[in-house]
């Protein structure tokens, strides 16, 4: 029988997935074990500890209880692979109430994405499918690994993306997020701000600069100004009386009118046409100011107009029927 008190029953790659306890948490758990003993067995997989690393460590520091520890082979994972065990361990860690959502995402999202991908490859080789893979076989869209992991944390994929931004462009901020010093959203904003800086030293200095209270204040100010600029732009478009979705229809009406035979217009009709022209001109002016190529706009308008003229010609080629069905 395995001697679970020995260190060889601790697998380093499993232990690395366990979040450390704060000093106060460790002290309280130690006091509880010394006073009340072990309340739950330490779970193992083929003899290796998968839940209970902290209790095992405390027991190793007190020889009077190390030999009294209870272990239990976790039956649901008896046929699981290393990868599947690691996924279970991470999900088990997510139930810890002393970790914030930001800390959980920052600590485990990247690792879980990697493990889920590895597990999918293992299932593919073994010819095994789980629920969402069965859905794909029936013609449904395959969910991205990022979406699968986001559902585990109960967040949108944008939160997982924030973790990715920090890991790739501002890894120095990871300890700050894990300690609760810096919110994940703030760290991700800093990472996005320095993303395009090529020089590693310059990037590191900028991350450090934005991490100060003054830097974070400047970041909030910049984000606020950017949002106000976007809002002002939206208001300006609305003020023009037309938006992107309507421009094709408006331009089409104008061109059809220009293609139509000249007829004498009433004063009200002329005023309506003039107002329509003003709307189109105002919109095109705004689009050009925003950087759109006028040639691209004209091409898009003309393409729609040509299609409409063809449809009109087809309609005119079909003889109209009288009420009795005769032509």
Pairing state between β 71-73 and 48-51: unpaired
* d(C-alpha 148, C-alpha 132), whole Å: 9
* d(C-alpha 72, C-alpha 234), whole Å: 62
pLDDT in tens, the chain (327 residues): 344 445 558 899 999 999 888 899 999 999 999 998 888 999 999 999 999 999 999 998 988 787 788 999 999 999 999 999 999 999 999 887 778 899 999 999 999 999 999 988 888 888 876 654 444 444 555 567 888 899 889 998 899 999 999 999 999 999 999 999 999 999 999 999 999 999 999 999 999 999 898 988 888 888 888 888 888 887 777 766 555 555 555 555 555 555 555 556 676 767 776 666 666 666 666 655 555 555 555 555 555 545 555 555 555 555 544 444 444
Give residue 10's region: left, alpha or beta (phi > 0; psi -120 to 50): beta
Count of CB atoms situated within 10 Å of the CB of 175: 11
* d(C-alpha 288, C-alpha 302), whole Å: 17
DSSP state letter for 167: H
The full set of domain ranges for the chain reads 7-79, 85-222, 244-317
Residues in CB range of 73: below 8 A, 6 or more apart:
43, 44, 45, 46, 47
């Amino acid at each position: 029988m395995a001697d679970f008190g020995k260190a060889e029953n601790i697998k380093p790659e499993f232990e690395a997935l366990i979040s450390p306890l704060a000093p106060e948490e460790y002290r309280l758990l130690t006091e509880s074990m010394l006073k009340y003993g072990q309340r739950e067995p330490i779970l193992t997989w083929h003899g290796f500890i998968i839940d209970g690393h902290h209790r095992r460590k405390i027991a190793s520091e007190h020889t009077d209880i190390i030999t009294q520890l209870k272990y239990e082979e976790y039956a649901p994972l008896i046929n699981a692979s290393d990868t599947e065990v690691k996924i279970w361990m991470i999900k088990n860690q997510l139930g810890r109430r002393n970790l914030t959502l930001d800390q959980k995402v920052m600590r485990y999202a990247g690792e879980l994405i990697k493990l889920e991908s590895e597990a999918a490859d293992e299932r593919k080789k073994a010819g095994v499918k789980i629920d969402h893979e069965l859905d794909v076989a029936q013609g449904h869209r395959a969910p991205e690994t990022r979406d699968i992991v986001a559902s585990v944390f109960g967040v949108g994929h944008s939160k997982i993306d924030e973790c990715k931004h920090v890991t790739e462009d501002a890894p120095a901020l990871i300890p700050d997020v894990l300690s609760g010093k810096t919110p994940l959203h703030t760290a991700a904003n800093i990472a996005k701000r320095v993303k395009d800086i090529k020089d590693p030293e310059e990037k590191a200095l900028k991350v450090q600069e934005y991490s100060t209270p003054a830097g974070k204040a400047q970041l909030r100010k910049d984000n606020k100004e950017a949002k106000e600029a976007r809002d002002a732009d939206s208001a300006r478009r609305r003020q023009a009386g037309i938006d992107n979705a309507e421009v094709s229809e408006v331009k089409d009406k104008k061109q059809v009118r220009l293609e139509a035979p000249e007829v004498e217009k009433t004063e009200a009709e002329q005023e309506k046409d003039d107002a329509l022209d003003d709307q189109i001109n105002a919109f095109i002016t705004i689009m050009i100011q925003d950087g759109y190529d006028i040639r691209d706009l004209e091409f898009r308008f003309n393409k729609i107009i040509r299609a409409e003229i063809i449809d009109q010609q087809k309609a005119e080629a079909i003889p109209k029927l009288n009420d009795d069905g005769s032509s």
